[in-house]
Structure 1
Amino acid sequence: MKKSLILVIVMIMLVVAGCSNSNAGNSGKSDNVTNLTMWSMESRNKNIIEASIAEFNKANADIQIKAEFFEDEALKTKMKVAIAGNQLPDLITYWSGETFDTLVANNMLGDITQQLNADVAFKDDVLNGGLETFAYDEKNYGIPVLFSGVSLWYNKQIFADNNLTPPATFDELLTVVDSLNENDIIPISVSGKDRWPVLHWYSYLAERVGGTEPFELAKSGEADFTQESFVQAGELLKELAIDHKGFVNGFLGLDYAAAETLFTTGRAAMYLQGEWAMDAFLDDEISKDIGFVTFPTVEGGKGSTNVYHGGFGVGMAVSAKANQDAAYKAIRFLTDSAQRKEINEGANISPMKTAGLEEANMHPLSFEYDTAISENLDGFFSYYDQSLDAKRADQFLNVVGAIVSQSDSNVAEELAKVKK
């Protein structure tokens, strides 16, 4: 009887222990340790972030982070599977925009408003618009990790050799393009195969023509993309790409790496990209020949040269299923200026007011770019393909491709194809 009773007690204990482990939750709590999984698209800064994670794990024996890093498209694919199965990682570094908002709307991300409100000094140090970018119904769901600003990069040596001045207006841009073509120099390198680099050109022209309001109206459904400013922007893009042959020959089949190489080897005079492009400049001899200007104005347009295409495009968030206190502690540590100092001293722009950057640690071009944006930034407008829902984003990418590839394309008819 005693042996039977002992056996029953042991079996009950095993069952209870099994139930305890099976209810560990998404954060995988075991042995009083909360294990947090993390996915990030910041693969180029992997070593720096892994060092921060190691520092956090060493200082927090009860919370351990394990991270995986992915290239952009690989993470997007992995996220689609995770969203379908409601199996997000505990921590995620992801793009702002429609997909992020969808995650919030479907209760898949944790609300960090209360933690941020209690963390006043940190909250107040985020640049204006940073937390708002990752807010939904006035609640916070993410912390920005960088600010992005797209500029027109140019080769100073090519411009000097051809007595050219960096264009401040669209008309000046066309004049520069014509002169470069006459001298058998590729005016602009752009990846048409990836589509979004061409969309940068269109988006900037649309903002310089009509300001930011038309896009906000179209995004919300109060208007569509056949508004006059969008049509005019399409005509200007067509004029640049087709009539003046501004883009490198065969650009529609050119991928990002090939387009970048044309510029970094001095074969193309101009290149429209964000601060991430500096990665290809900074450690190369050509960096001394690289300059930048804000995107040109359009005569009679409403847009300002100090309004950049970009914004707070990437932020860090936590899964709604994660241990919220542990997860916030982790992202608060990883987004702190001290942890991201080395990243922001490279080809990045800090989203914080007090980034703690040291000019002595920075490449002159990187410091010049960071300083120019922080001193002149009046505002920003988001990437169209990230701001719109997936359906309209893909339609827009296709439509812009059609506009620049067909001399007889009807811009208004093409833009009418972008609809919910």
Structure 2
Amino acid sequence: MKKMAIALLAFAMVAVAGCGSPSSSSNGNTGANTGAGKENTAGGDGNVTQLTMWSMETRNRSIIEKSLAEFNRDNKDVQVKAEFFEDEALKTKMKVAIAGNQLPDIVTYWSGETFDTLVANGLLGDLTSYLDKDAEFKDNVLSGGLETFTYDGKTYGVPVLFSGVSLWYNKEIFQQNNLTPPTTYNELLQVVDKLNANNVTPITVAGKERWPLLHWFSYFAERVGGTEPFEKAKAGESDFAADSFVKAGQMFKEMAVDHKGFVNGFLGLDYAAAEALFTNERAAMYLQGEWAMESFLGDDFAEKVDFVPFPVVEGGAGSVNVYHGGFGAGMAISSKTNQDAAYKVVRFLTSPEQRKEINEGANISPMKNPGLDEANMHPLAFRYDNYISKNLEGFFGYYDQALDAKRAEQFLNAVGAIVGKKDADIPSILAAIK
């Protein structure tokens, strides 16, 4: 049964489509060691615990490598070598590691169903006692951060970021067309119609990647019915053909297809091409997470960018200050490694001091007191971080991470089907997710 569970987990790791932030194109290793927490004798220095770490934070690689160099310099008894992978490459790497029972000692991975399965199969170490003895650090984590990685009262991960998806817009295009950013669904339709009438592409989206489309549907669903319908459907207490999901699908189709809100050919557009339309000022709006700021901050274009929360639906149960996202990634350790040594590394790398440079860029810190220096930050990044910190009421997770692999894949296909045809049978499409 154990072998079967691990085989099924390995399959799930490949099947699930993560919605983590897109990474840069850099790759390569700073060392490789697929064994768990090995101790080697180093001359007269005694035992040295050698640890490996896998991470998908490729865009923060240089900063993390500086932290690792500092750790290795100051901790001669524990030495860490890191490997960085693009999103899909890490999923594949983890699949092989699970099948071979050779997890890395430390891994930065996405929260959600796959993380849950790793815990359920006893593959991750319990960090509860370490955190309980480290109250100052534990209490500094934003509400919901450690809870995201807690199962049956035990915590298995420390969050490394908070993600919040917002509606980014080009201020200059809006001014030229006498528009104000939409705060309601009806206002969104009016903005779309006005932009189309003026031959301006309203919204760019990477339909080929599917998960950016799911952002739109998920927000409509939350704004219509709140977060409860999804939690009930996830638990099997209802299904995704419930009224709030059907209405969300109808609004999604109305905006994207009937009002031609999305750029022509969006179903064949990949992430890079979709983002380029916004950064090259050929589309007025772009729904994406804070990671998108990475492409905004490098030049004068950032001066033209602003953001608003996703619009509310009149009469809906959702709140404008509930964000799609959450604590999307955390750092965990293998249950088979040297627990003391591995936690020491995790505690160091996730500290506000070591994450400061990362969080002063296009990221949102998961800490209440991240120690950010406004003078070091781009005004847009500081404004975004500050806005969410002050206004956040709650969050709801990425559907394709929160669901099991089968339903996640079905949902990703469903959102494309909803906006793929003018006569799409939305209730039937959603009812097929089970």
Q: Could you report, residue by residue, the CA deviation over 1:163-187 in whole angstroms, capped at 9, with x for unpaired residues?
A: 0010000110011001111111110
Query: So what's the TM-score if we normalise by structure 1?
Result: 0.93
Letter of the 1:293 partner, please give it. V
Q: Could you report, residue by residue, the CA deviation over 1:76-123 in whole angstroms, capped at 9, with x for unpaired residues?
A: 121122222222100000000000000000000000100000001000
Q: Is the 8 A contact 1:202 1:233 kept in 2?
A: yes
**Equivalent in the alignment of 1:19:** none
Letter of the 2:274 partner, please give it. A
Q: 2:134 aligned with 1:134, yes or no? A: no
Q: Any idea what SS the aligned residue of 1:33 has?
A: strand
Q: Is the 8 A contact 1:25 1:321 kept in 2?
A: no
Letter of the 1:190 partner, please give it. V
**Equivalent in the alignment of 2:40:** 30
Distance in 1 separating the partners of 2:229 and 2:339: 39
Distance in 2 separating the partners of 1:307 and 1:281: 24
**Equivalent in the alignment of 1:113:** 128
Q: Any idea what SS the aligned residue of 2:320 has?
A: coil
For structure 2, list consecutive stretches of 5 or more residues without a partner in the other structure: 1-33, 42-46
Q: Following superposition of structure 1 onto structure 2, how do residues 260-275 of structure 1 map, counting pairs within 5 Å?
A: 260-275=275-290
**Equivalent in the alignment of 2:10:** none
Letter of the 1:27 partner, please give it. G
Distance in 2 separating the partners of 1:57 and 1:408: 60
Distance in 2 separating the partners of 1:168 and 1:350: 26
Distance in 1 separating the partners of 2:101 and 2:188: 48
Q: CA deviation at 1:27?
A: 1.2
| Residue number among 347, 352, 360 corresponding to 1:337 in the alignment | 352
Q: Any idea what SS the aligned residue of 1:380 has?
A: strand
Q: Any idea what SS the aligned residue of 1:186 has?
A: coil
Q: 2:82 aligned with 1:72, yes or no? A: no
Q: 2:190 aligned with 1:180, yes or no? A: no
Misfit runs of 4+, over 6 Å: none
Q: Is the 8 A contact 1:28 1:35 kept in 2?
A: yes
**Equivalent in the alignment of 2:373:** 358
Q: CA deviation at 1:193?
A: 0.4
Distance in 2 separating the partners of 1:355 and 1:407: 47
**Equivalent in the alignment of 1:18:** none
Q: Any idea what SS the aligned residue of 1:348 has?
A: coil
Q: Is the 8 A contact 1:190 1:248 kept in 2?
A: yes
**Equivalent in the alignment of 2:335:** 320
Q: 2:405 aligned with 1:395, yes or no? A: no
For structure 1, list consecutive stretches of 5 or more residues without a partner in the other structure: 1-23
| Residue number among 17, 29, 41 corresponding to 2:56 in the alignment | 41
Q: Any idea what SS the aligned residue of 2:83 has?
A: strand
Distance in 2 separating the partners of 1:310 and 1:86: 31
Q: Is the 8 A contact 2:35 2:102 kept in 1?
A: no
**Equivalent in the alignment of 2:180:** 165
Q: Following superposition of structure 1 onto structure 2, how do residues 230-249 of structure 1 map, counting pairs within 5 Å?
A: 230-249=245-264
Distance in 2 separating the partners of 1:83 and 1:383: 24
Q: CA deviation at 1:28?
A: 1.9
Q: Please say which structure displays the higher CA radius of gyration.
A: 1
Distance in 1 separating the partners of 2:35 and 2:367: 33
Distance in 2 separating the partners of 1:178 and 1:220: 39
Distance in 1 separating the partners of 2:97 and 2:182: 45
Distance in 1 separating the partners of 2:100 and 2:423: 45
Q: Any idea what SS the aligned residue of 1:245 has?
A: coil
**Equivalent in the alignment of 1:8:** none
Letter of the 2:350 partner, please give it. T
Distance in 2 separating the partners of 1:83 and 1:409: 40
Q: Is the 8 A contact 1:149 1:275 kept in 2?
A: yes
**Equivalent in the alignment of 2:22:** none
| Residue number among 280, 296, 310 corresponding to 2:295 in the alignment | 280
**Equivalent in the alignment of 1:7:** none
Distance in 1 separating the partners of 2:429 and 2:89: 30
| Residue number among 283, 289, 295 corresponding to 2:304 in the alignment | 289
| Residue number among 339, 363, 368 corresponding to 1:348 in the alignment | 363
**Equivalent in the alignment of 1:412:** 427
Letter of the 2:39 partner, please give it. K
Shifted more, 232-241 versus 69-78: the winner is 69-78
Percent pairwise identity? 71
Q: Is the 8 A contact 1:34 1:326 kept in 2?
A: yes
Q: CA deviation at 1:25?
A: 6.2
Q: Any idea what SS the aligned residue of 1:93 has?
A: strand
Q: Could you report, residue by residue, the CA deviation over 1:325-346 in whole angstroms, capped at 9, with x for unpaired residues?
A: 0000000000000000000000
Q: CA deviation at 1:158?
A: 0.1
Letter of the 1:153 partner, please give it. W
Letter of the 2:369 partner, please give it. T
Q: Any idea what SS the aligned residue of 1:30 has?
A: strand
Distance in 1 separating the partners of 2:95 and 2:278: 34
Q: Is the 8 A contact 2:246 2:430 kept in 1?
A: yes
Q: Could you report, residue by residue, the CA deviation over 1:292-348 in whole angstroms, capped at 9, with x for unpaired residues?
A: 000000111000000000000010000011100000000000000000000000000
Count residues in correspondence.
396
Q: Is the 8 A contact 1:144 1:351 kept in 2?
A: yes
**Equivalent in the alignment of 1:61:** 76
